[in-house]
Amino acid sequence: MSQVYKSLTSGPVPPAVPTTFTTDSGSAIPALNILNVLANDTIANDTDGLTTQGAGNTVTVLLTNRVSIDSITSDGAGQTQNIVIMTPTTATSITFRVLVSGYDAINNVAIGGEQIGLVRTLGGVVTVVGTNDTFDESDAVLGAADWNIISSSPTLSMQFVGLAGRVINWRALFEYTQAP
The answer on 167 and 95 residing in a single domain is yes
Per the structure, the count of domains in the chain is 2
Examine the domain organization and report whether 101 and 153 are in the same domain. yes
Average pLDDT across the chain, whole number? 91
Q: Is 43 in the same domain as 131?
A: no
| Domain assignment of residue 83, given as a range | 66-179
Q: Can you give the pLDDT at residue 8?
A: 63
User: Of 16, 41, 64, at which residue does a domain stop?
Assistant: 64
CA-to-CA separations, 12 to 2, 3, 7, 15, 103, in angstroms, rounded:
21, 19, 9, 9, 59
**pLDDT range class, residue 175, cuts 50, 70, 90:** very high
Collapsed DSSP state (helix, strand, coil) of residue 33: coil
Q: Does residue 71 sit in the same domain as residue 154?
A: yes
Last residue of a domain, one of 64, 93, 114: 64
Please tell me whether residues 58 and 137 are part of one structural domain.
Answer: no
Beta-carbon count within 10 A of 160 CB: 24
Q: Do both 42 and 100 map to the same domain?
A: no
Residue 55: count of CB within 10 angstroms of its CB:
13
136-166 confidence digits (pLDDT tens): 999 999 999 999 999 999 999 999 999 999 9
Claim to verify: residue 32 and residue 121 sit in the same structural domain: no
Whether residue 40 sits in one domain with residue 70: no
Could you tell me if residue 115 is left (phi over 0), alpha (psi between -120 and 50 degrees) or otherwise beta?
A: beta
- Domain of 122, CATH number, reads 2.60.40.1680
3 or 24: which carries more pLDDT confidence?
24
Say if residue 46 is in the same domain as residue 60. Answer: yes
The DSSP output letter for 90 is S
Helix, strand, coil distribution of the chain in percent, nearest 5: 0, 60, 35
Using 50, 70 and 90 to split pLDDT, how confident is the model at 1?
Answer: low
Mean pLDDT calculated for residue range 75-102: 91
Whether pTM exceeds 0.75? yes
- Asked if 75 and 135 sit in the same domain, the reply is yes
Amino acid at 99: L
Q: Are residues 71 and 11 in the same domain?
A: no
Q: Which of 64, 89, 111 is the last residue of a domain?
A: 64
Whether 87 and 175 map to the same domain: the answer is yes
